[in-house]
Chains A and B, each alone.
Chain A
Amino acid sequence: MYFACDLCIPSSYKSGEYPVFLFSMSMEDYDYLFKIVLIGNAGVGKTCLVRRFTQGLFPPGQGATIGVDFMIKTVEIKGQKVKLQIWDTAGQERFRSITQSYYRSANALILTYDITCEDSFRCLPEWLREIEQYANNQVVTILVGNKIDLAEKREVLRQRAEDFAESQSMLYLETSAKESDNVERLFLDLACELIQEAKQNKLDNNDTAPMPGEGKTISYLSCCNLN
């Protein structure tokens, strides 16, 4: 069910450690810029996933996020520099109206729940309604079950989540921000998928005149579809 891109090479952590100011960003060279927004109930580990990916940290006793946080990390995929703008949102209800304003411009949404918390899974349909209402219809949504390090406390079976994700035609991945399981893969796979989409859009727009050098895409696509 997953798409994998084992050839993705993460660039060093240094590049993403501090948020970069945007006016200087236009000066930098990157091939793609994507906005990724993490959503999901409070306490499912959204902030930990982002910190693990951008800074390589797992801060214990992470307090509740207030409003939204903003991180940047640049990764390299098949020789292309991809800048990921990651918006980490507060899960608490009172920040919902702030969070919602970010859906529309997001390229991808990471809908997160906690595998040890049935409640956070049951809320997913509600989140999907929000996505339906606020996000643009081209958004890529991926469902993430976090905290697989707490396997003995699991409340949501993997099969159940996979079935649910499939019924909503979402991608599904289980992660552990604590053990760093699948975290890199989550963001890199997402970046792969977004590049694919972007290329697809570009092709749709000028299908009469394919750009020279696009031929490489095919080998790239096949790499992404390996398993």
Chain B
Amino acid sequence: MADNGPVAAKRCDAGSLSSVSMETILALTELEDLERVYQQLCAEEKEVDSELERLVGQEGTIHTKMLALQRMGPNLQLIEGDASQLSGMITFTCSLAENVSRKVRQLDLAKTRLYNVIQRADDILDLKFCTDGVQTALRNEDYEQAAAHIHRYLSLDQSVIELSRQGEESSAVDASLLMLQDAEQKLKVIVAEKLDEAVAAVDLAQVERFFKIFPLLGLHQQGLDRFGQYLCSQLSSKAEENLLLASGGDLGEKRAPLVFADTLTLLLEGIARVVETHQPIVETYYGPGHLYTLITHLQQECDRQAQKIVDKFIQQRGYHNKFQVAQSNMMKSVPGEGIEPRELDPVLTEVTLMNARAELYLRFLRRRMLADFEVGDAQSVTQEHQQNTEKLLKHCLLSRTMQELIGYYIPMEEYYMRESVNKAVAMDTYEKGQLTSSMVDDCFYIVKKCISRALSSSSIDCLCAMINHANSVLESDFREVLYNKLRQGFPATTLQDIQRGVSSAVSLMQSSLQQGKFNTMGIESAEHAKAAFLVTLNNVEVCSENITTLKRNLENDCSKLFNQGAGSGEQAKIESCLSDLVDTSAKFKDLLQEGLTELNTTAIKPQVKPWISSFLSISHNIEEEEFNDYEANDPWVQQLIVNLEQLMAEFKTAQSPVIYDILTSLMTSLISIEMEKTVLKCSFSRLGGLQFDKELRSLVAYLTTVTTWTIRDKFARLTQMATILNLERVTEILDYWGPNSGPLTWRLTPAEVRQVLALRVDFRSEDIKRLRL
């Protein structure tokens, strides 16, 4: 206990730093515990010592910092002085500024009031001046002057006038106001009367004079109404005159078939000219945005007159009548009874021209009205104006009438197209030396003509509808015609007879003679059917191409239309309709493929097969002597080549290059397959293999000259078979097989290689079996 006393006391001073409290130490009784605590306390003492040393070490730096701070002392005092001085100055400036600005504000207020006073004084003076001016002007019949005074009065601030009336001179102001209002009413009446008089007298100068006065009196609407009426009456008389000329006049002229389109054009051009000439006046005197109102008036007259022209057109051309005949004829689908398509030609052209004129006119109006709104306020040509404009143009009677005309036009044009195509089919002729017959060119000429006419109407919907109909005619009607012709098939047997040459022809003649009649008709009609089939194949191929060309040309034509500003939605519509033509073109391609397959199976296969199988009758199990004999007199391949040449020569002259190419390709495939089958049925000696190799080489060399396709690939298997049949001994195959194959890719399986090896009579089957492939 006594030992621990000082330590404990010291620890006590250190207080909280020690982890062992005094009480704990005092409570300790065991020596072990005491020692442990002692150790602990010693360690703590060391720590405290090092800490103390570190703190003492810092003393130097703290001292230097203190010195620096002491040196800064006086400076701080200086700064404080400056700062308070600055603050004083700012306060002073601030109050000064406030003083000044208060005065300025007061001045400003005073100035504004002064201006107002001057304004009002001016207004009152003006009022008086106007009152006097109006009287004199009215007396002098100087209506422009009077209207200018009234305009001045009307543009005065009404509240100012009210205020003035409350002032001292109220009675005087009241009197002049009354006088002004009186004069205003009087002037309005006079101007209206004068304008009516001028309208009645058809005095354009006077009409325009009074028309200009209306907006000054705040009567924009009335002025435009009256002016519109005047212009309408002018248009009306002119239009009626024109219509009378058109319907009664000499129809012998060149333009007679288009006389109603011309009359409509005159009307629309007349209105366009009126708009063009009067737009400046309206814009100058009425301000921008008022052209719409004037055009609304003009459009009413336009609708009336256009309706009259169209009515007359329908009546004189028998438009509805023709429509009904065409319509009922299409429903019954009985050809020949209805109206001649040719008779519809002029009326269809006239309708499309009329619609095109109307579209052009409406486009002109739209451009003018929107431009006029735009002058008023570029930002506010918004929705409302645009909607009003569109509503006026799209739903005006002219538009509706034209839509009706086009509604009748489409079925008639469809009728024209279907009937003309039927005719072209019925009158189909084929001239020797031509690849296609006349109906293909005729049919596409008609389709193109009809679509072009629809396009010339400038109506996108009309164009789309005709593209749809054209597509339908081509895809259903016309394709059906070609399909049926192909279905009659290619007369196989007779052709074979002819191809077999003189001997068979003789036998045919003999058999005919035996039957007691010489049947050349059979040969001739078969010849005819054969030519018809080949021509139809060409027709199908050209159709497919023509449709693609038609689509491309229409795309070009339409892009011109879009440059004139049709919307993107319209463009998408046309493109969608045109894209259907691509499908139709593909359908013709399918048909061509079908026809070619038919030709291949009926005309080529039955002929080529026996030629190839005659290979069987030529022994290839030969010795030196026979080989030399073959060398001198070719037993098989030369005849085959001659036969093939004869067969293809006919197709070469009768078919388009594209079809001829496909045919030769089909034929070479056929030959290679048949050859393979035949070779596997033969047996070969060493020299027989060599003979076959020679024969194959000649055949491939010949076929290479007649096709544009590469045929080496098709004959790869056969060439490899020839290689095998040419081996000296069985094991030689290993020089070409597996790792030794080099650039050669084997198309034969190991089993097939064995099969071919077995064809050699001199190869032993044990050797073949023993091979490791």
Contact = CB atoms under 8 A, between A and B. Distances in A.
Given A70-B576, A97-B465, A19 B408 contact: no
Given A98-B465, A104-B472, A105-B471, A66 B407 contact: no
B404 interface: yes
Nearest to A19: B572
A63 B465 contact: no
Contact of B465 (A70, A85, A101): A101
Interface stretch (A7-15, A20-28, A117-125, A215-223): A20-28
A156 interface: no
Contact of B411 (A63, A66, A85, A97): A97
A160 interface: no
Contacts of A31: none
A21 B403 CA distance: 26
Nearest to B467: A101
A19 B573 CA distance: 9
Contacts of A93: 407
A98 B572 contact: no
B181 interface: no
A69 to B, nearest CB: 7
Contact of A66 (B403, B471, B568, B571): B403
Contacts of A64: 395
A21 B577 CA distance: 11
Given A98-B465, A105-B580, A23 B575 contact: yes
A61 to B, nearest CB: 10
B462 interface: yes
Interface string B405-434: 011101100100000000000000000000
Most A CB within 10 A of own CB, among B395, B414, B461, B573: B461
A93 B403 CA distance: 10
Interface in B263-279: none
Contacts of A97: 407-408, 410-411, 465
B176 interface: no
A64 B472 CA distance: 28
A70 B573 contact: yes
Interface in A101-119: 101-102, 104-105
B569 interface: yes
Given A19-B569, A68-B464, A104-B468, A96 B576 contact: no
Nearest to A26: B579
A70 B575 CA distance: 11
A29 to B, nearest CB: 17
Contacts of B395: 63-64
Contacts of A20: 572
Contacts of B469: 101
B394 interface: yes
Interface residues of A, number: 26
Contacts of A18: 568
A14 B571 CA distance: 20
Contact of B572 (A22, A96, A105): A22
A96 B410 CA distance: 10
Contacts of A104: 468, 472
A21 to B, nearest CB: 6
A21 B572 contact: yes
B102 interface: no
Interface string A39-77: 000000000000000000000000110111110100000
Contacts of A105: 468, 471, 580
A105 B471 CA distance: 10
B103 interface: no
B772 interface: no
Contacts of A2: none
Interface string B300-330: 0000000000000000000000000000000
Nearest to B408: A97
A126 B83 CA distance: 98
A85 B471 CA distance: 18
B460 A98 contact: no
B391 interface: yes
B400 interface: yes
B462 A98 contact: yes
Contacts of B462: 98
B464 A94 contact: no
Contacts of A95: 403, 407, 461
Contacts of B400: 94
Most B CB within 10 A of own CB, among A21, A64, A105: A105
A217 to B, nearest CB: 25
A19 B568 contact: yes
Contacts of B472: 101, 104
A21 B575 contact: yes
Contacts of B471: 105
B409 to A, nearest CB: 8
Given A66-B394, A101-B410, A101-B468, A94 B576 contact: no
A101 B568 CA distance: 21
A85 B576 contact: yes
A101 B394 contact: no
A18 B408 CA distance: 32
Contacts of B578: 22
Interface in B551-578: 568-569, 571-573, 575-576, 578
Interface string B203-245: 0000000000000000000000000000000000000000000
B571 A67 contact: no
B48 to A, nearest CB: 74
B404 A94 contact: yes
A23 to B, nearest CB: 6
B621 to A, nearest CB: 43
Given A63-B391, A94-B403, A97-B410, A102 B461 contact: no
B572 A67 contact: no
Interface string B369-408: 0000000000000000000000100110000100110111
Nearest to A70: B573
A79 B30 CA distance: 85
B501 to A, nearest CB: 42
B461 A70 contact: no
Given A94-B403, A94-B407, A105-B468, A21 B571 contact: yes
Nearest to B571: A21
Contact of B579 (A19, A22, A101): A22
A146 B403 CA distance: 27
Given A18-B568, A67-B460, A102-B465, 15 more contacts: A21-B571, A21-B575, A23-B579, A25-B579, A70-B576, A97-B410, A98-B406, A98-B410, A101-B464, A101-B465, A101-B466, A102-B468, A104-B472, A105-B468, A105-B580
7 contacts: A19-B572, A22-B579, A68-B573, A97-B407, A98-B410, A98-B464, A101-B468
Interface of A: 18-23, 25, 63-64, 66-70, 72, 85, 93-98, 101-102, 104-105
Those 5 A-B pairs whose CB atoms lie nearest each other, nearest first: A67-B461, A101-B468, A101-B465, A22-B575, A19-B572
